[in-house]
Structure 1
Amino acid sequence: MSAAQVDDTAIAWAIREDSGLDAQEELAFEAWLAEDDRHLGAYVRARGFFLRTERAAALGESYRPEDFLPSQSSAPKQTAKQIGEELANPSRRRFVGMAIAASAAGVIGAGTLFYRGAGAERFVTRRGEVRVVALADGSTITLNTNSSVLVEYGAHNRSIKLESGEALFDVAKDALRPFVVRTAAMDVTAVGTSFTVSRVGEAAARVVVAEGIVEARSLLVKEPQALRLEANMAATASRRMQMIATEVPSTEIERELLWREGRIQFENATLQEAALQFSRYSDIAIEIEDPALRTQQISGAYLANDPVGFCRVVAQIFDAKVHVEEGAVHLSR
């Protein structure tokens, strides 16, 4: 099967998965993935486009995913055989294929980009943007707001430098080519897993493992020992302390990863802490003029790019006043 045919089939599966797969379709899909090493990479690239368009809706009022995706019909679900026959309909396949290709070229806003396989390539996000990068080996990188990574694949390794911000790495297994993420403070090596790495200032970094196993090594101490981290574990590297593994409840990991959906969740955070979090995602600053109001605590999930809406909720809860001006929203009593 040619590369174009592989991509066509991957697009058909991605379209079908949007409306859900039944048990028979799941089996057919798993069998297709197992047929050829190229299938997973092609599927991840196609699915990455859909994920990016879905998440963008939470990150920008002007973004309309329906402008780029085919509309869902109310027709009965297709069988696995009919899914294959869907490839005979070139209009739908070509539409999504062109959208993916345009996204790869940067035509559709801040769309998903793909690794080209030659030299190093940098991927960045602006403030308030989330980007999914699908790599040729089937791995994906999801960049949080205001982040930058440098990707370089070689014959014997897969090297990612997290230059700033935070990213989630879903790693395709390849025992012959370790997947290494490096910051100024830490390097993290994985074979097949899901984990986040975030830079905390210039001289610290944190890794959180959602699935699988990684080895983390501090770059801030002499002769560092590799630290083995399993699912629901985290570690921080800094000059002030020895890097140690800590357990993280799965509910906490889910809360931390809500940024993929354009949301922030707080658990008994002070309003001042919440204001600092919103400043990572929006150019609109939250100014809390009453010192006593800054220490009030709040919980819940909120749109990361809507500090004004957050402040209006706060005002109702704490009987405060909201004043909105260009570039800032003020909370007062």
Structure 2
Amino acid sequence: MSILHRYWLKEFTRFFAIVQMLLLCIFLAVDYLSNMEKFLRSNFSLIQGLGYILLKIPFMFVQFTPAGVVLATIVVFSLMNRNNELLALKGSGVSVYHLLKPVVLVGVILAMTMIFLGETIVPYTMAKANHIRSSTLKKNKKIYATWENIWIRDGNKIIHINYFNPADNSISGITITSFGADFKIATRVDAENGRFDSGQWQLSNVLEQNNPGDEHNADIQFYDHKAFALDVEPADLKTVAKKTDQMSIQELKAYIHKIENEGYDATHYIVDFWAKIAFPIICLVMALVGAGAGMLSAAKENMPLGIALGIGVAFCYWVVHGFCTSLGYGGMIPPFLSAWTADLIFICLTTIFLVTVNV
């Protein structure tokens, strides 16, 4: 590695660390203060609350990394531009695009780092944080979840849900068991699917059994659709439902396979599976965007302009990525395309930008 490349990597590492520390400190302050009321209301000490926030740092580090990459790259190139270092390179016959080699290297390394954290540390810390949030901060004692099922205690009823789809707030494989005196089963309701509408769950393909424990007096009724008023809403289920940020890529792939084998719609999880693979690639794109923005002639005298351009590009990426994944959740475009469209668009735009930029 040349001296020039080592110099650039040293400067980038310094500014990237500063940017990431600032972003994480802002996140810690905002998230801690916004949750302080919940901590106090739940008899959760402020020290425990800080531990809860710290559990989310690995996940936020991954989320902030693309922004840190683009900002640090812009600052390094803008300073080199202002100090006429880029002009000196050009005058010496060395193309400034020679500096893109360490830029690409940084983008690849950070993308691999994001994947590594997403496969190891992030699932564990987010599972702990989500457990604290659902069981302690929200005091959601009536809802219990295992790896594959959701159990709900609602008065004298025990509700079992085999699958909750967070994309459309639908449930599948529902069993509602009501108990009478001496904890004897009074009724049992089995339904194929259900949706929440106007404060009630609208269940479809319903089988209702009254006094099923008495084989001679059991009254069985079938309904295409029937409404049930249960003390649980989709927002409650989302707090305990299996979340993709708690799973590695391999775990998510296995979970998708299980859901599909049971006949449920796994579109939401398939989109997130491809998004887990596609999202880290944006580190490379943002690094190249930052290089192009820092090389602009306008950035030589006006560094804030280059920084604003980089922030604007990063914001546009998150908007496009969020919009495309939403289309994927809704089944309007294939899951693979919904996860990779933003990356493909910005790779093309970044290539054009680098080719046309004037140093």
| Fold shared by both chains (TM-score > 0.5) | no
Q: Report the structure number with the largest CA radius of gyration.
A: 2
Higher-helix-fraction structure? 2
Higher-strand-fraction structure? 1
Considering Cα pairs closer than 8 Å and 6+ residues apart, tell me whether 1 or 2 has the greater RCO: 2
**Structure 2 length-normalised TM:** 0.25
**Structure 1 length-normalised TM:** 0.27
